[in-house]
A and B are shown apart, each in its own frame.
Chain A
Amino acid sequence: MANATKAEIEAGGSYLPTPVATPMAMVDGLDTPYYEGKERDELWVQYCAECSEHQWGPEWICHGCHSYDVEWRQVAPEGRIFSWERIWHPVHPDLAEAVPYVVVLIELPHADDIRMVGNLLGDPEEEIMIGTEVEAVFEHHPDHDPPYTLVQWSRK
């Protein structure tokens, strides 16, 4: 069972036991600011000044006005649970001891309700309510090759 708390993650722990899959910035540079921000415990996402609107996931063009000059802005690392799932069946052998674990979809009200996927820290069998306020917790893996950071979520 995956049940790491915010304090355990901040002390260098991880929610899932081993890195079955790890994230890497795209080689074409599309999402580099997001990846660099995570390393500093910051959330950076795309923003179109013309439309005054955040855009997520990243793309080379604003879907609203078709401007190629899409900016990056730092947003508050907090949000609320938009949806969730509790996973009982491991689809990879390395996750066999990790079930149950919880994946949440978080919407960011300070950034036009864009959403991010992460794990909900704490007891996976605790009741989960859509709308619950959460804050981001940055799970760093500096010793992995290549190093990476996951953005996890903890109830406020």
Chain B
Amino acid sequence: MAATMRGTTAIVGLAETTYYRRGGAEDAEFKLGLMAVRAAAEDAGIDVRDIDGFCSYSNDRNDPTRFHTALGLHDLKWSSMVWGGGGGGCAGAVAMAAAAVHAGIATNVVVFRALAQGQFGRFGAASQTGALQGAAAYTQPYGQMSPAQSYAMKVTRFMHDHGVEQSALRAVSLASYYHAQRNPRAVMYGRPLDEEKYDNSRWIVEPFHLYDCCQENDGAAAVIVTTAERARDMKNKPVYILAGGQGSQYRQSAWAHNAPDYGTSNFKNNAKSMFDMAQVKPEEVDVAQVYENFTGGVVMSIIEHGLIPVEQANEEFTLDNFRFDGGKLPLNTSGGNLAECYMHGFELVTEAARQIRGESTAQVDDPEISLVAGGPMVEPTSNLLLGAQV
């Protein structure tokens, strides 16, 4: 096999601000970003001025050159963004940082997301109104105007094709809320969810109940990526980056829902490339953080990563299987987008790293392999495999 970046880089620092409900942050979005970046550097035990690269995704408003100038950094050797909306780039941004470090272009790359929906508008409200051209003109005039509405039809078709039941979606939601009850950072800490509360919750758009949909929040989170060699001499246990990347299946962005393979999370390409790069099999994954924009996307993502066969979805998508304490596939162990914070999936990256470091509030016993899957049903999606050892 050709040389890859497998195990040549590591996450050495991680941090987040307080997570707030949408509109709850008193600090400006950029200040939240500054706080997360500085805290991640402190966690790594490096001088923040030694950061020399920035990666983010989803058109983050907070420009690397502004950070560079505001913090008085010595140099800026790398800045890059995963294109595409949603949280599809949350794992890919880390992979991009790893690639930059692996290539020797930069040494300490910070990957971050700062998002104050209270200050800059909600994702869940109709954002495009008036006279529209292009792709939006083929959907929004019919009242399909929000992310939940854009993806519900994909999930319905997937459920129809494979006989997947609503209980599979419910299990994903229950797992996030279960784990959030152990996590004081979680916005939904102290707000448990059970089957009855889920079943009785209002429809947002069928097949999504209220609890199938992510929150909208304010906050920021960041991690620091450097070489594996440097990581071994630093203060935290290294979280090795075994593989990561982006992907999108054939014609997934065709307008008006014309992707030939429709009922898909869009992980069929990059699930394989990630496991190949890591030289890991799906059954070796010890803990998984799988992006919940909407629970149906998590069901498809888990299946398309080979973690649960589609034929067994109705039997195996249960809270018992997803619990950190004894579940076969501990899932979204911080509470994720549904119940910790919708930090656009970056809270999944920090949690996946915490699991390897042994610092989760819902800690799995000595995990070796920790998965992040970012942004189902968007284009591109991205994923990441973290390891306790190379």
Contacts and interface: CB of A to CB of B under 8 A. Distances in A.
A21 B133 CA distance: 10
Contacts of B153: 83-85, 103, 105
Contact of B130 (A2, A22, A91): A22
B144 A103 contact: yes
For chain A, the bracket of interface size reads 35 or more
B257 A86 contact: no
B254 A85 contact: no
Nearest to B134: A26
Contact of A89 (B134, B140, B205, B262): B205
A9 interface: no
Interface stretch (B120-128, B300-308, B336-344): B120-128
Given A16-B143, A83-B153, A83-B157, A91 B124 contact: yes
A21 B126 CA distance: 9
B146 interface: yes
A153 B323 CA distance: 44
A103 B133 CA distance: 19
A100 B258 CA distance: 25
Contacts of A82: 157, 262
Contacts of A103: 142-144, 149, 153
Interface in A37-93: 56-58, 63, 82-89, 91-92
Nearest to A141: B141
A143 B98 CA distance: 56
A88 B202 contact: yes
A87 B255 CA distance: 21
Greatest chain B CB density within 10 A among A2, A25, A88, A95 is at A88
B251 to A, nearest CB: 6
B46 interface: no
A116 interface: yes
B28 interface: no
B156 interface: yes
A25 B137 CA distance: 8
Interface in A119-147: 119, 130, 146
A114 B128 contact: no
Contacts of B130: 21-22
A105 B145 contact: no
A88 B129 contact: no
Interface of B: 124-126, 128-146, 148-149, 152-154, 156-157, 160, 202-206, 251, 254-258, 262-263
The 9 closest A-B pairs by CB, nearest first: A57-B255, A23-B137, A92-B126, A83-B157, A21-B140, A83-B153, A85-B152, A88-B203, A91-B146
